[in-house]
Structure 1
């Protein structure tokens, strides 16, 4: 029997406070900069079956609302008071998302009854593997991405499994850093256990059990009510990662959002086949895997911020994710850079929902945050340093109610920046510039948010910088409802010098003393026609250094002379811009428009269909052969109807008789 609404609200407040208290404990006791400053961690409370019912709102990552630990919980045969379990293996239970993500859970008992789990996760700066910080899109199998720990008991009835801990710490580059964060996780879970005991004492165990169930049911009812307000229909959207590896080919993520009454189907069937790079997202085929549902959660919360954030809101939705694709790869596919794919995937989901309710959701988010890590030696002490120094975040998309937030990261805004003073104290680098990028936000009635910029100099030989999630140098965020796309990102070694190198989407860079790194993030898309933006708002942006005088005239039609608006010239220019406009829901940058003239929806449909007939380990190879073949095809022979893809596929398959053997073996 449901508990009354007043008691349920009080219960919900207690559960929320418990999760927040756990997060505060972890935040205040963590060791690494990436956890204590950037805040890439989560805490929460889960049901005995593993569904998260309480998560913090103000601290840590927001990706894991509704994280389901069920499959991981089943891999531990029994639970006793004092147990603490651990895993970072992406393929064991599919609760971890890549090897640096260390998930832990602690059973909470009341009078010998298991009533809940206290759960937490942190992103370790490094867990060993082929490169510092463990992650690069160039890695090809999960074995290269650091030590993997399948679900195990780190503590059994309060007794530490020292051998397991020793193995883990022996295989990482900064063991004291990992151990410090591990202790912070344990402290957070102990806090959660105390808070649950307080709740049981206050409400009674029967009300506690029913309250957890009712919270999840309420989340589901609210989500269904919201979905029922969206018109029934099929809404398609696609976006791309620039390339599978430096010098590679684009990676497509496609979604058909099917709204049917109070339910939603997220069909990702048009997304690319499994890759020979680390951009794959390990979901195990779970139709409500949390990494597939983040964009869905963001959209629901953006439409109605009063919705209850717990696992119940995922119940009315399910995902379609064919096996052997980028969103459901087969072992041992590399998955370390899944965070970049997830960021783009969230944008794709936002785009599909925006197609359904264009006035309720923002234009394209930056969708890419370069996580900058430095491995170097401190010249003063000779000590090895391995640290994360900053997420270089892009801007949020403009929306019907206002501009996108500058440098917020948009859908990754939970990643906090690290103050320059802390970076220079903890890592032997010299920060030269840290700022916003002028003109990077897409022009619009409501401007897209600006991207951020970081420039720093290193001082030791054998320094390695890893720029995880580097992307958006080719395909930028999209504009909406007449707004323009945001600017692309950039990455350079020694800018302004004779030995300057454009690093593009390279994510591992070896540096010498005195070398300088400059990285910029892309901007968010603009919303609404730029010439409808208030001229005074454009002038203010120019005064703030956010928009150049040239962009004010070219994009917004606002002519500024000697620091003032030329009213006559502005009226004339805005009239011309309005007359030349071609209304559309979405506006993409020139690089994407040119790419999609060759790689049409029909060509991609043929590619998806044909690759699905191949053994998984052949798919990426044949895809690249098809891309290479089409690059050589004369423009007059390109029809865009899928026929050129089918012909290239036939030639590629005929070239390799071994492929036929592999097909027969399956």
Structure 2
């Protein structure tokens, strides 16, 4: 523990630390309740961060871990580009450039500086997925070969300047989306989130005083940094590695190799991606900031995971990614499906460090967002155009002492949720006839990998379907003798009964009314020798419909 300062004490510091996170939770609630599109208010494809005047994290809410890891980096990069004076009171700065923010163009970062008595004291930030930003295909293209096909790309742009809306910019944005009014609505939901953070932060300072809050902040950061370095120092020094490969980049059939080396030296950790694929034609590339964010997620899984993230976190972590690789892509690389390699990368960090941290290591999870995109015209609503984007849950890996979890969202998405069936069927012209746990999909082991899920979509009108399913090549691996989980599977059943089951990635396939799309996600890897699994666990699994008499997961 750090020594108390003259201006604060451990009790006050702890109250302020929790207040930072409570402010972030209020911001997140404001965003979700104000959003126009279901991918935010139902799926919760968003995250918020409360930052200090230097862009370091004060508090974060529940949200997408992959977003939370780099909101601070975005604020700091913009300051490096334009200077800290660029941020003026009343500004709303919007950013989605993949080579700055790291993600795809649908993920919109909003930065709002917070001022108190004329002094910049922090930032209220958020990121949310906007349904359509004008890409060549509705939602997000699965076969883009350059970023210009993926939608509108914004460098740091002030959509409000000193409190005044920049109507020409807002009108331009509205005109270049298939859902322009909803786009502007979601922007204002993010602005409402920022205003909530601003109000709550000012209230905190008025209660405790700026100097006390600042000193408490410094104590919090110092404590997190110290605890983290102690946790790293407990890992044996050395070099640890793991390799994997994506199925393909969505354009060619060639696997995309991913290589990781983790180096532990005293109180520091280095993660090196040298040897990974050069940037690809297809959209599995990402900007470096998002690579850093993913590796921060992996780091936090293993190193001092009990403590929330703040500005003292990650100071002992260093990341290397070769320029021009999929993890440090350069213009004009496509980035729509940037998260596929990152989900695998998080699992690979755990795999690499498993020999050094066996008590914390788990087998691989199903690994990808497993996205379906339906689009078309809804005859129930005067043929209004619709886009339904949905991620699917799957199985997580087992660990020493417990089975993996069934049907959870993947590790990059955190609190993201699939849509309730009632919401989906109400909004879109299709029915979900079946939804359940995919039997036998988890890898065998003394502790079984979690099972994936399945869904049957019955199409009520002519519809286009795009798919992005991954991890059939590098299946979710087991540890300590555990077996791999099954990979994903998609079947398209035409009205005439013919079946197509050779697609995991597809772009705008035309489906006739009466078609059925059956998707199944993978399971997690098992842990330990399957021969050592207890009879009681196996019998319970069979009774609950999780495995059959003849388990098929290899």
| TM-score > 0.5 by shorter chain | yes
Asked if residue 25 in structure 1 is aligned to residue 30 in structure 2, the reply is: yes
Asked if residue 420 in structure 1 is aligned to residue 417 in structure 2, the reply is: no
1:245 and 1:65 map into 2 onto residues whose CA distance is: 26
Where 1:227 maps in the other structure, the secondary structure is: helix
Gaps of at least 5 residues in structure 2 are none
Match of 2:378 in 1: 378
Match of 1:83 in 2: 91
Where 2:177 maps in the other structure, the secondary structure is: coil
1:263 and 1:203 map into 2 onto residues whose CA distance is: 35
**1:394-448 CA deviation, whole Å, 9 max, x = no partner?**
1110111311110113413422121111100011111121111000011112111
Alignment of 1:51-62 (within 5 A): 51-57=56-62, 59-61=63-65
For the 8 Å contact 1:273–1:325, the answer to whether it is kept is yes
Where 1:183 maps in the other structure, the secondary structure is: helix
1:355 and 1:163 map into 2 onto residues whose CA distance is: 57
For the 8 Å contact 1:374–1:466, the answer to whether it is kept is yes
1:140 and 1:377 map into 2 onto residues whose CA distance is: 27
Alpha-carbon distance, 1:387 to partner: 3.5
Structure with the larger helix share: 1
Gaps of at least 5 residues in structure 1 are 556-588, 590-666
Alignment of 1:27-426 (within 5 A): 27-57=32-62, 59-61=63-65, 63-65=67-69, 67=71, 68=73, 69-76=75-82, 78-91=86-99, 94-136=100-142, 138-245=143-250, 247-283=252-288, 289-300=292-303, 304-388=304-388, 390-411=390-411, 412-426=413-427
Match of 2:453 in 1: 452
User: CA 1:20 to 1:269, structure 2 compared with 1: closer, same or farther past 3 Å?
Assistant: same
2:70 and 2:158 map into 1 onto residues whose CA distance is: 23
Where 1:312 maps in the other structure, the secondary structure is: coil
Alignment of 1:637-656 (within 5 A): none
For the 8 Å contact 1:445–1:531, the answer to whether it is kept is yes
2:66 and 2:249 map into 1 onto residues whose CA distance is: 26
User: CA 1:218 to 1:467, structure 2 compared with 1: closer, same or farther past 3 Å?
Assistant: farther
Where 1:168 maps in the other structure, the secondary structure is: helix
**1:177-229 CA deviation, whole Å, 9 max, x = no partner?**
22221121111110000110011011111122223333232222121111111
1:413 and 1:15 map into 2 onto residues whose CA distance is: 20
For the 8 Å contact 1:493–1:503, the answer to whether it is kept is no
1:16 and 1:536 map into 2 onto residues whose CA distance is: 42
1:66 and 1:299 map into 2 onto residues whose CA distance is: 19
Match of 1:524 in 2: 524
**1:488-547 CA deviation, whole Å, 9 max, x = no partner?**
111121179642112422232322221211111110001111222220110111111110
Alpha-carbon distance, 1:61 to partner: 4.7
For the 8 Å contact 2:58–2:310, the answer to whether it is kept is yes
Alpha-carbon distance, 1:78 to partner: 2.4
Alpha-carbon distance, 1:246 to partner: 5.2
Where 1:98 maps in the other structure, the secondary structure is: coil
2:453 and 2:369 map into 1 onto residues whose CA distance is: 10
Alignment of 1:454-533 (within 5 A): 454-461=455-462, 463-468=463-468, 470-494=469-493, 498-508=497-507, 509-533=509-533
For the 8 Å contact 1:404–1:448, the answer to whether it is kept is yes
Size of the aligned set, in residue pairs, is 543
User: CA 1:308 to 1:45, structure 2 compared with 1: closer, same or farther past 3 Å?
Assistant: same
Alpha-carbon distance, 1:174 to partner: 1.2
Which structure's relative contact order is higher, taking Cα pairs within 8 Å and 6+ residues apart? 2
For the 8 Å contact 1:368–1:521, the answer to whether it is kept is no
For the 8 Å contact 1:72–1:95, the answer to whether it is kept is no
Where 2:227 maps in the other structure, the secondary structure is: helix
For the 8 Å contact 1:236–1:355, the answer to whether it is kept is no
Q: What TM-score do you get using the length of structure 2 for normalisation?
A: 0.93
Post-superposition, which runs of at least 4 consecutive aligned residues in structure 1 deviate over 6 A?
none
Alpha-carbon distance, 1:299 to partner: 2.6
1:218 and 1:66 map into 2 onto residues whose CA distance is: 21
Where 1:35 maps in the other structure, the secondary structure is: helix
For the 8 Å contact 2:98–2:104, the answer to whether it is kept is yes
